Chain A
Amino acid sequence: MSTARFNTLTDASGGNSMPVADINQGRAKAWFRLNGNGTIADIDSFNTSSYVDNAVGDYNANWAVVFANALYTQIMSGDNVTAGGNRFSFLRGSDAAQTASTVRFGLSDTSIVSADGYVNAVILGDR
């Protein structure tokens, strides 16, 4: 495996310069889009090993390479393009529901009732 070591990354014109440390902090460590209708289907993902269907609108994502800690940030949105209807997305449970290896999250419909649908997520943090 080859590794390039340097401090700053710049485009060829000399603009858009960023320290490598900032790029590493700012890059997504995982992301996914899943379809939670019926058996969970991974539509596409990065660093996601599997999902758990806890109940209607209640899921876990497991990380292929675990995070350094449970302190990471997860940004999400929900939709339900297959069946129609909007979905609110949210992190479920207490702080303990988020660990270095998994996170629990869910969806509700516009009547604030748990419902299945699609979840889009980006995770930033230390890994």
Chain B
Amino acid sequence: MSAVRADNFGNRAGTSSIPADTLLQGTAKQWVHFNGTGTIAVTDSFNTSSVTDVGVGTYEPNFATAQPSTNYGVAGVAAGINGGLFAHGTAFIHTTTSYRIVSAYPSDTSSNTTAADYGRIMSTVHGDPA
């Protein structure tokens, strides 16, 4: 296997470059787009072995290759005809092998929400390279 070791990578003209650590740290370490209604169907993904259906509007994407630590960040969206909300709180499962997310809709104008399944749920993870 060939490997390139360098501090920076640049274009040939020398007009644009990026530090190796920025490139390695800045790439997503996992992402998944799935249908959370009925039996979960993964639409497309990277570094995702499966998505577990925990309950209504509650899911756990599982990493194909585990993260080196639990210090990664999670972001995402939930989408349906009427939109949706996405949550990943510190009270949720967040391990080197999976993390829990919740999709919901706003029940009222007082910040209350109700968990619900959505047809388009997307999440991504950024963190340290393995």
Q: Which residues of A contact B (CB under 8 A)?
A: 1-2, 4-12, 14, 16-18, 22-23, 25-28, 69, 71-76, 88-95, 98, 106, 108, 110-112, 122, 124-126
Given contacts A75-B122, A88-B85, A111-B109, contact A6 B4 (CB under 8 A): yes
The answer to whether the Cβ of B75 comes within 8 Å of any Cβ in the partner chain is yes
Given contacts A10-B3, A91-B120, contact A124 B28 (CB under 8 A): yes
Which residues in A have their C-beta under 8 angstroms from that of B7? Answer: 11-12
**Could you count the A-B residue pairs with CB atoms below 8 Å apart for me: how many are there?**
130
Which residues in A have their C-beta under 8 angstroms from that of B25? Answer: 16
Which residues in B have their C-beta under 8 angstroms from that of A125? Answer: 31, 33, 44
Cα A108 to Cα B9 with chains together (Å): 41
For the complex of A and B, 3 pairs with smallest distance between CB atoms:
A26-B27, A91-B79, A90-B83
Q: Is the CB of A23 within 8 A of B24?
A: yes
Q: Which of B27, B43, B83 contacts A88 (CB 8 A)?
A: B83
Given contacts A71-B44, A73-B32, A75-B77, contact A16 B1 (CB under 8 A): no
Q: How far is the CB of B6 from chain A (nearest CB, A)?
A: 6
Which residues in B have their C-beta under 8 angstroms from that of A98? Answer: 120
The answer to whether the Cβ of B91 comes within 8 Å of any Cβ in the partner chain is no
Which residues in A have their C-beta under 8 angstroms from that of B5? Answer: 10-12, 14
Q: Is the CB of A26 within 8 A of B20?
A: no
Which residues in B have their C-beta under 8 angstroms from that of A22? Answer: 27, 29, 46-47
Residue of B nearest to A125 (CB): B44
